[in-house]
Structure 1
């Protein structure tokens, strides 16, 4: 009986070592996929944040330009401020018309951001891609009494 116990114990040590080696190999094969999924989720979340921030920056720029006394410079400053709050760099902001007067009826702000300079993980997949958003708002007019 005691010899059978020792034989079983020796056998279980061998299977434990074999199983431990199998777990190590399985881990080595699956961990790259796990990291790929993890960093992919982070990158897609960052791209979604960039898209929302660019849309908000276009709106904020247009909002700064449509109020009485608003200029294209104030629109660009407001848009850049909204983008810098989200740590987005390299943006191009254009305002149409470039000279806002009393006769201007609407203002359009276009914002373009390169993704390759604003990603956190790898820029290889976003190289040459841009996020472009535009916002067109009608000018506010003061009522003259």
Structure 2
């Protein structure tokens, strides 16, 4: 749940005008650190947020090996990951340009052929 919450809150932080990638990373890391998790990875995409950025994706990865006090051999080298993509709070034109990218991302996650 921490991976889900950190990814979502970081994406919410980054979707507003004027937000930066660093602010999104800080938001995710604050929640991760509050949970006492170690050796995590936070990835924000795109790497630079501008007024033309239509959507934000944040991925949080938490390695089970480093963050479990009781780990079964079935879960060695398991990474708990969560990824959230949100439309930004931009002008309607900018938001509309991002919709094809979101549809393609959704299709890719489902294993479907992307629409052209």
| Normalised TM-score (structure 2) | 0.73
- Rg (Cα) greater in structure: 1
**Long gaps (5+) in structure 1:** 1-51
Deviation at residue 69 of structure 1 after TM alignment: 1.0
**Long gaps (5+) in structure 2:** 93-116
Of residues 62, 87, 106 in structure 2, which corresponds to 1:113?
A: 62
For 1:89-108, list aligned pairs within 5 A.
Answer: 89-108=38-57
1:40-96: CA deviations, max 9, x gaps? Answer: xxxxxxxxxxxx010000001101111111111111110011111111111101111
Relative to its length, the structure with more helix (as a share) is 1
Contact persistence 2:54–2:90 (CA under 8 A): no
Q: Which residue of 2 aligns with 1:83?
A: 32
Contact persistence 1:68–1:142 (CA under 8 A): no
For 1:1-145, list aligned pairs within 5 A.
Answer: 52-122=1-71, 124-141=73-90
| Normalised TM-score (structure 1) | 0.59
1:84-111: CA deviations, max 9, x gaps? Answer: 1111111101111000000001000011
Larger RCO: 1 or 2 (CA < 8 Å, sep 6+): 2
